[in-house]
Amino acid sequence: MRTALGDAFISALVALGLFAPMVGLLTAPTDKGLVLIPRPMPVAAIVAAVFAARLAFLAWRARRPAARPGLRALAERATAATKYLGPGVLAFALVLPLLAGRYYIDLGILVLTYVMLGWGLNIVVGLAGLLDLGYAAFYAVGAYSYALIAQDFGLGFWTCLPLAGLFAALWGVMLGFPVLRLRGDYLAIVTLAFGEIIRVVITNWVSLTGGPNGISGIPRPTLFGLRFGASAGPGTFAGFFHLAPSPSQRVIFLYYVILGLALLTNWVTLRLRRLPLGRAWEALREDEVACRSLGINITTTKLTAFAMGAMFGGFAGAFFATRQGFISPESFTFMESATVLSIVVLGGLGSQLGVVLAALVMIGGSELSRSFADYRMLVFGLGLVAMMVLRPRGLVAGRTPTVTLGQPREIPAELLAEGRG
């Protein structure tokens, strides 16, 4: 009991250090400028809540029962139910524009963009086991490649899309070469630095990227040459199909474009997992030394993982540029990389369905809870902490190798706690 109280007291001290400046001090404008108003009661309430929650968690962990066959069977049934969840989510995504309004279609476009980014990063982190904290760099390369090629050479979206992916894949290979011998924290630091280098370059190369002012007037995509506009003239979607022009037509078209790109990313990823290349990624994730001893080319395996993940990030960047019509360096900060990585980890490393569910929770949930103002991020953070405690492997654990030798074996809990599972 004394140990639990000491642990809870330390957690309360940490909470006091974190929330005292953020919650306990409120700035208010006056005639003499901004003044700080102390708010000790909210801080005391948060510290007391942290102390009680930590104490309750330690008591629950000490008294929780061992895994029983009934609970194990329930977990197996829940895992089997995910086979039907995927088609259900796909069917809902297909009919969403027919059932929802403009706001929810825009929200669906945003969620699908992060789903595509999550699936691309899942190749690098979930399948190959390479921690990448600079994934927003490939997102930016794809966006700026599309914007510059479309404006300077007058090419359309469907022509520039594969070019943006190829440019992003090239930068992925360029990142992969310096980090061939790095792993763990060192790999994370280098990828983080790479993402910041790309952001600094596009901010300061004013003659090419526009610098902090960004690039505006980016061309919109067309449907077989048919434009989406406010009129029903010749060469427009509304005029060709004899429809009344509406802004929602372009939004619905963009929704199905990103849905198709996301499904293409998912299909390619699933196919690659069953090919020798995908099996090499999984072997690299499990044990790099054993992978090398089996004769697998580590250099090629790592470079292909970075290139494939970067290519899908470039596709998503090109779509982001054509959807917004304007891009700037502020759209590709470290927070974008952290958000995508959180989606992959929260969903479950290597799980395609988990990425979808995590994107719905993180992106869709945060947008729908804007009415809670500043408290929504606090609730969101508490939800992530609860997930780490209850589901440390993510919403849908997906580290099962594609190919196994013999029958799968059950790993005891004590070995799993040591990181052997």
pLDDT digits (tens, 9 = 90+) for 312-334: 999 999 999 999 889 999 889 88
- pLDDT value for 258: 93
- 8-state DSSP, 421: -
State yes or no: pLDDT of 401 exceeds 90.
no
Nearest-angstrom CA–CA distance, 81 and 105: 27
pLDDT in tens, 358-368: 888 888 877 77
Tell me what the mean pLDDT of segment 1-17 comes to: 84
- pLDDT value for 71: 47
**Quick one: pLDDT band at residue 404, thresholds 50, 70, 90?**
low
Tell me what the mean pLDDT of segment 41-47 comes to: 88
Residue 169 structure tokens: 């894949």
Nearest-angstrom CA–CA distance, 163 and 167: 6
54-69 b/e (C-beta count within 10 Å ≥ 16 → b):
bbebbeeeeeeeeeee
Burial of 4 by CB count in 10 Å (0-12 exposed, 13-18 middle, 19+ buried)?
A: middle
- What does pLDDT average to over the chain? 82
Select from 92, 363, 402 the least CA-distant residue to 274. 402
State yes or no: pLDDT of 68 exceeds 70.
no
Q: Rounded to 5 degrees, what are φ and ψ at 178? A: -70, -15
State yes or no: pLDDT of 188 exceeds 70.
yes
- 8-state DSSP, 236: B
Nearest-angstrom CA–CA distance, 200 and 193: 10
**Quick one: pLDDT band at residue 416, thresholds 50, 70, 90?**
very low
Q: Which CATH number fits domain 99-415: 1.10.3470, 1.10.8, 1.10.260, 3.90.1460?
A: 1.10.3470
**Quick one: pLDDT band at residue 77, thresholds 50, 70, 90?**
low
**Quick one: pLDDT band at residue 163, thresholds 50, 70, 90?**
very high
- pLDDT value for 349: 81
User: How far is C-alpha 354 from the geometric centre of its chain's CA atoms?
Assistant: 11
Burial of 411 by CB count in 10 Å (0-12 exposed, 13-18 middle, 19+ buried)?
A: exposed
pLDDT in tens, 98-155: 888 888 899 999 999 999 999 999 999 888 888 888 899 999 999 999 999 998 888 8
CA angle 343, 285, 288 (to 5 degrees): 150
- pLDDT value for 400: 58
